[in-house]
Amino acid sequence: MNRRLFFETLGGAAAIPALAQSDPPTKLGIDSYSIRGFRWKAIQLLDYAASLKLDIVQVSHGDFESFEEPYLRKVKDHAARLGIEVEPGFGCFCPKSKGWNARQGDPAQYLLNAIRAAKTLGAPSLKVFMGNSTDRYGPTPIHALMETSVKVLRSVRAQALDAGVKIAIENHGDMQARETKTLIEEAGKDFVGNTFDSGNPVMLMEDPLLALETLGPYVVTSHMRDSIVYEHPRGAAVQWVALGDGVVDYPRLMARFRELCPRAPFQLEILTGSPPRVLPYLETDFWKAFPAMPAAELARFLALARNGHPLMSGMMIAHPGKQPPEYEAALKLQQRVDLERSLEYAKKTLNAGVRWRG
């Protein structure tokens, strides 16, 4: 069902703001993880972005061939020739997280290396994350990971300020928005900001719009995708989908995005191919991972689930283990198809993007 028609059926069309064509276009880009199946490196990713008339690309750390200065300058120069901005995306920096790779050495040095790379690329920010969703259910409380992360971040404050680079912490399925905000404020908002991910909130029983309203003043870059949310006998089911295929009110979210963080780029991280995930919030044990969640925040999510629905269109789902080559090829193609139709939705429906209008 068309998403606007769906809301009209619910009697909510009047609440969806019309997007004026005179609104200034927000920079539009992609996170390279959206098309990870192609295994393109930074230069190829920039060429692909140029073919789509995008403004910016967030290149994951694994998509750089090197972090030596000559190579990074080559990437920067190539981006400049194409008229595209490039920013690096790094990973976990908290040594207490299950996502921390001990082979990375000292966490502070990991951040210092990331800061140096961002400065060489001419990027004003870099993406990192504290941990991942498994930390929420692990033996170490989230607040303990946050305390450790604050110490690591504060240890590189002087270098980040000197480089003019903000460390943009993603709400990565580990922290809810209010917790991410606390981490940023305690570490220091003068050099720490947020990579706003609109898909991860639903995995933590958050309304993405509420998450944006909480983190908006700290957002310096973003990961955007749509989500399906609907009621389930154990609680709710959630699934990531292409932009415009889900139940998130994206015209309204974009209006708030422009209002709260007007300088931040709107970068798509489209992650289709996964089955719905059940959030069993009707079961007592589930709440051990969310002991301090306010009832008002849960109510916003419950309303989203109550008005939601399962995915009405087809999607190839990846299965654990080895798959036939034909399935792998289809999943790889799906990444590109879903990304490009999401970009079209962002341009035509949300008025995002600067270069494509030129």
Q: Which two tokens stand for residue 350?
A: 């949300």
Query: What is the spatial distance between Cα 99 and Cα 95, in angstroms, rounded to a whole number?
Result: 8
pLDDT of 19:
45
Q: Give the mean pLDDT of the chain.
A: 93
pLDDT tens digits along 111-156: 999 999 999 999 999 999 999 999 999 999 999 999 999 999 999 9
pLDDT tens digits along 267-326: 999 999 999 999 999 999 999 999 999 999 999 999 999 999 999 888 999 988 888 999
Query: What is the spatial distance between Cα 304 and Cα 148, in angstroms, rounded to a whole number?
Result: 34
Largest CA distance in the chain: 57
Given a cut of 90, is residue 95 above it in pLDDT? yes
For residue 297, what is the enclosing H or E element?
Answer: helix 295-306
The answer to whether 294 and 55 have CB atoms below 8 angstroms apart is: no
Q: What dihedral do alpha carbons 94, 151, 122, 263 form, nearest 10°?
A: 90
Given a cut of 50, is residue 12 above it in pLDDT? no
pLDDT of 1:
38
Confidence of residue 11 (pLDDT cuts 50, 70, 90): very low
Structural domain boundaries of the chain? 26-229+240-275+314-348
pLDDT of 24:
67
Q: What average pLDDT does range 209-213 have in this prediction?
A: 98
pLDDT of 323:
87
pLDDT of 357:
78
Q: Could you tell me what percent of the chain has a pLDDT over 70?
A: 93
Given a cut of 90, is residue 10 above it in pLDDT? no
CB atoms within 10 A of CB 202: 30
Lowest mean pLDDT segment, chosen from 29-43, 140-154, 181-195, 315-329 = 315-329
pLDDT of 23:
62
Q: What is the 3-state secondary structure of 221-275?
A: EEEECEEEEEEECCEEEEEEECCCCCCCCHHHHHHHHHHHCCCCCEEECCCCCCC
Q: How far apart are the first and last CA of the chain?
A: 33
Given a cut of 60, is residue 21 above it in pLDDT? no
Query: What is the spatial distance between Cα 195 and Cα 171, in angstroms, rounded to a whole number?
Result: 7
Q: How far lies 330's CA from each of 32, 161, 281, 326, in Å?
A: 19, 45, 34, 6
Query: What is the spatial distance between Cα 347 and Cα 352, in angstroms, rounded to a whole number?
Result: 5
Confidence of residue 9 (pLDDT cuts 50, 70, 90): very low
pLDDT of 247:
96
Instruction: Give the total residue count for the chain.
Output: 358
* pTM (predicted TM-score): 0.93
Q: Which two tokens stand for residue 191?
A: 């050099």
CATH second-level architecture of 26-229+240-275+314-348? Alpha-Beta Barrel (3.20)
The sign of the CA dihedral 114, 117, 119, 122 is: negative
The answer to whether 46 and 84 have CB atoms below 8 angstroms apart is: yes
